[in-house]
């Protein structure tokens, strides 16, 4: 959803075509096109976007790997895929060897929590210039990667 503090309304995206994909109707925002569809099967042509972002959505997606494949498919070579998901990490200093706690499921349709390794090695498989980081407690895993130039699709 594009609100007043959304990444979609910042100066970095001024003048860009912006789309928000949802499986349910959402409030419209000036300069943002709402698309009603499932991320597992996006209604966009291959290599349509320079930037694809997924923030706090993949944990709700029963088939998140299909959405990841679609995000890579619609991303142009040289484009950036940016993702943020709830995670878990092991922090021996802070937790004395225990796994960090995460929030309990906040909705009936939360299916997953992810590790930083999963984001780096699974989400961004086949991509380059990969960067990931676990931030906050409980952790949020944020990451970005670039679709290799010269490749039409990334698995």
Nearest Cα residue to 29 out of 12, 43, 55, 10: 10
Topology classification of domain 37-146: Rossmann fold (3.40.50)
- pTM equals 0.83
Identify the sign of the CA torsion 148, 144, 115, 37: negative
Q: Where are the domains of the chain?
A: 37-146
Contact assessment for residue 108 and residue 90, using Cβ atoms and an 8 Å cutoff: no
Write out the chain's pLDDT in tens, 155 residues: 455 666 677 777 778 888 999 888 888 888 889 999 999 999 999 999 999 999 989 998 999 999 999 999 999 999 999 999 988 766 556 555 555 555 555 555 778 889 999 999 999 999 999 999 988 877 889 999 999 986 555 45
Cα dist from 143 to 43, 45, 72, 136, whole Å: 25, 24, 14, 14
């Amino acid at each position: 959803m594009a609100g007043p503090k959304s990444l979609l309304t910042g100066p970095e995206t001024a003048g860009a075509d912006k789309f928000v994909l949802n499986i349910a109707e959402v409030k419209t925002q000036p300069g943002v096109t709402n698309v009603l569809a499932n991320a597992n099967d996006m209604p966009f042509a291959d290599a349509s976007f320079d930037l694809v972002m997924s923030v706090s959505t993949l944990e709700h997606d029963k088939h998140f790997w299909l959405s990841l494949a679609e995000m890579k498919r619609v991303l142009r070579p040289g484009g950036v895929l940016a993702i943020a998901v709830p995670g878990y990490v092991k922090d021996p200093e802070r937790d004395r060897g225990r796994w960090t706690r995460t929030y309990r499921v906040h909705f009936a349709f939360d299916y997953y929590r992810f590790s930083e390794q999963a984001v780096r090695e699974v989400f961004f498989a086949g991509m380059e210039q990969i960067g990931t980081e676990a931030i906050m407690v409980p952790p949020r895993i944020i990451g970005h990667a670039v679709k290799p130039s010269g490749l039409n699709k990334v698995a």
